[in-house]
Amino acid sequence: MRFIINSQLFLKHLNAISGVISNNNTVPIISCFHLHLEDNILTIKSTDLETTMVSRIELENARVDGIDTVAVPSKLLLDMLKSMDDAPMNFAVDPNTYSVDISSGEGKYSIAGQNADTYPTLPDMSETTQTTMPASVIVNAINKTAFATSNDEMRQQMSGIYCEMTPENITFVATDAHKLVRYRRNDIHSEEVASFILPRKPITLVKNILSSNKEEFEVTLNYNSTNVSFSFENFLIICRLVDGKYPNYEAAIPKDNPNKLTIDRQSFLNTLKRVSLFANQSTHQVRLSIKEREIQISSEDLEFSNKAHENIPCNYDGEPMDIGFNAKFLSEMVTNLDTEQILVELSHPSRAGIIFPIYENEEDTKNEDILMLVMPVMLAN
């Protein structure tokens, strides 16, 4: 097995799929990259047994002598490539010892490879349903929802992003019971009704690869009852779906919210960040005192005698209200919106507040539907 490859191209592909590899593997072979050479196509695979990532590189100078597959320690290979100049590298694998000999310029290196026969095979992707969508839609969906997933190991279903596909639209949902995000695309459809829970770690890895490419392209999703795959350009990512039933998120969204607050998003976010510095650092509680033309954001930390308040203008249609929120949760939501203004709908200080972006472009309003919900906290008085 011999091939020549540019060092930086090789590093780019290895970096893209290395995030799935864990340092605490109980199965030593999956600490390696799986390399397979066939018809001048080098296929690189990595896995943690739950998620498998595959990258393909087309080569010009390659041939198979004796063996076409080898497992190479990932950390050593990555660390070496990171310090290499941008230059061609010659790889040769000994079919008897699996030693990987590398030469570039005046340097010669040898890595102890392994027989790849015991490396895990690709997960079963039979009897799948297929749909396609632009890469930008997936990136936006993950950016808008992943922060709201739960870290509670006892609530595995809420640790992922719920995906609901219908002939009318596709919806992504994340919640940790304190905050909830529903991201819906009305311009993306599925022929069949389906729903599943995407695990957060591999979905974040998918987003990172998609984000690194500035050009728009289509991503193909294939899914069955146990796995989902994302295929695009020279990459394939297959991950096991989260088992279990997702909570009825629609039941948590208040339907009657007569009090409506319109405010400049950036001004609101900056004020929240400043005032929350003076809040209790375990509760992060801030008070919003809302009137017709003005909102006062205040916080207090009795333990250290710190307090702050700041007034900013707003448009408010409703009864004057004092309501408390966790500033950390509220800031996360406002940060992950990108419109100039936002709409906050409220009903009562004890009920959830709902945040919507206010679009200037009618096309955006038609295609994209974002709802963010944050639960209030009890005020002292």
Give residue-wise pLDDT tens across range 246-299: 999 999 999 999 999 999 999 999 999 999 999 999 999 999 999 999 999 999
**Nearest CA to 237 among 51, 56, 74, 58?**
51
Residue 25 has pLDDT above 80, yes or no: no
Round the average pLDDT of the chain to a whole number and report it.
94
pLDDT computed for residue 281 by the predictor: 92
75's CB contacts (< 8 A; 6+ apart) are 31
Class of domain 2-118: alpha beta
**Tokens for 28?**
């030593």
pLDDT computed for residue 145 by the predictor: 97
Half-sphere exposure of 286 (CA within 13 A, CB side): 26
- Percent of the chain as helix, strand, coil, to the nearest 5: 25, 40, 35
Task: Using pLDDT thresholds of 50, 70 and 90, give the confidence band for residue 329.
Answer: very high
Tell me which residue has tokens 């230059």.
Answer: 87
* SS3 category, 315: strand
pLDDT computed for residue 379 by the predictor: 86
10's CB contacts (< 8 A; 6+ apart) are 57, 81, 89
DSSP string, 241-265: PPPSPPP-GGGGS-S---EEEEEEH
Could you report the per-residue pLDDT of 50-76, keeping only the tens digit for each? 999 999 999 988 888 888 999 999 999
Residue 205: enclosing H or E segment and its boundaries?
A: helix 200-211
- Range 96-104, long-range pairs (CB < 8 A, 24+ positions): 96/66, 98/67, 98/70, 98/71, 100/70, 100/72, 104/7
141's CB contacts (< 8 A; 6+ apart) are 161, 172, 183, 185
**Tokens for 374?**
């944050």
Could you report the per-residue pLDDT of 93-129, keeping only the tens digit for each? 999 999 999 999 889 999 999 999 999 999 989 889 9
Domain boundaries, the chain: 2-118, 129-250, 253-377
Task: Specify the pTM.
Answer: 0.92
**Spatial distance between the Cα atoms of 131 and 188, rounded to a whole number of angstroms:** 9
Task: Using pLDDT thresholds of 50, 70 and 90, give the confidence band for residue 305.
Answer: very high
> In which region does residue 195 sit, left (phi positive, over 0), alpha (psi from -120 to 50) or beta (all else)?
beta
pLDDT computed for residue 122 by the predictor: 93
Residue 315 has pLDDT above 90, yes or no: yes
Sign of the Cα torsion 147, 150, 153, 155 reads negative
Tell me which residue has tokens 């870290």.
Answer: 151
pLDDT computed for residue 101 by the predictor: 96
Q: Using N-to-C axis directions, what is the helix angle for 200-211 and 135-145, rounded to 10°?
A: 130
Question: What share of the chain has pLDDT > 90, as a percent?
Answer: 87
Residue 341: enclosing H or E segment and its boundaries?
A: strand 341-346
Q: Using N-to-C axis directions, what is the helix angle for 265-276 and 327-335, rounded to 10°?
A: 150
Topology match between the domains 2-118 and 253-377: yes
- In the chain, the amino acid numbered 378 is M
Sheet holding 194-198, edge to edge: 194-198, 161-165, 170-175, 179-185, 368-374, 353-358, 341-346, 259-264, 315-317
Rounded (5°) CA angle 203-206-210: 140
For the domain covering 253-377, report its CATH number: 3.10.150.10
pLDDT computed for residue 65 by the predictor: 81
* SS3 category, 29: helix
Topology given in CATH for the domain delimited by 129-250: DNA Polymerase III; Chain A, domain 2 (3.10.150)
**Tokens for 5?**
């490859």
Residue 370 has pLDDT above 90, yes or no: yes
- Contact, 3 vs 62, CB < 8 A? yes
pLDDT computed for residue 381 by the predictor: 65
